[in-house]
Chain A
């Protein structure tokens, strides 16, 4: 079946622009995660949704980062007034059960954001 999809795959933004990154999780998956991966490093947690509820946003680096999942399926990560340090790959993952740390997380291909 279809896996996790993300769009766009690549995004170039000028410093100060707003960007929106989309994630389509596997159908029926309750949990959805966003991670940020800097070049040459492992992914770092940003935020977690259980259905439409954002239960953990402790990893969001600043109030310029905002995520939503209004109907409990598709999610959008928005970054306002982008800065060069926001350049990274943004990964979305979903898992079937609530509380994804006990379950396999399936990752999308990521969106590579470059801020000039």
Chain B
């Protein structure tokens, strides 16, 4: 079963707009990672944010982490049609062994 939850489950925007996706998790984490998955392909790592960090940037991507609310957000600025994909957050829980625990994903569609 999925441990994290992404919100929204699906998002449709126009090219050039910003896209925000949220992720909530349940217990103490070591880090939270965001991945992108294009249809029929593997997962591509986007950003890793550690529990002692609050914000991280990578190009058009901005990730925030609020450990008091057990939530994270991924912002994609100036979206492009090529950003169309599913986005997953994955947590490294402190008490859950070595695996990553994934949410159900947000399906983003960027219309040209």
A residues at B contact (CB < 8 Å): 4, 31, 33, 35, 41-45, 48, 50, 55-56, 58-59, 91, 93, 99-102, 104-110, 112
Contacts and interface: CB of A to CB of B under 8 A. Distances in A.
Contacts, number: 76
Contacts of B102: 35, 42-44
A15 to B, nearest CB: 24
Contacts of A56: 97-99
- Classify chain B's interface size: 20 to 34
Interface in B9-68: 30-31, 33, 35, 40-45, 48
Contact of A102 (B31, B103, B105): B31
B2 A100 contact: no
B97 A91 contact: no
Interface string B91-103: 0110011111111
Given A43-B100, A48-B98, A56-B99, 4 more contacts: A42-B88, A101-B96, A104-B48, A109-B41
25 contacts: A35-B99, A41-B2, A41-B105, A42-B105, A43-B43, A43-B102, A44-B2, A44-B102, A45-B100, A45-B101, A48-B97, A50-B98, A56-B98, A58-B97, A91-B43, A99-B98, A100-B99, A101-B31, A101-B96, A101-B97, A101-B100, A102-B31, A105-B45, A107-B43, A108-B42
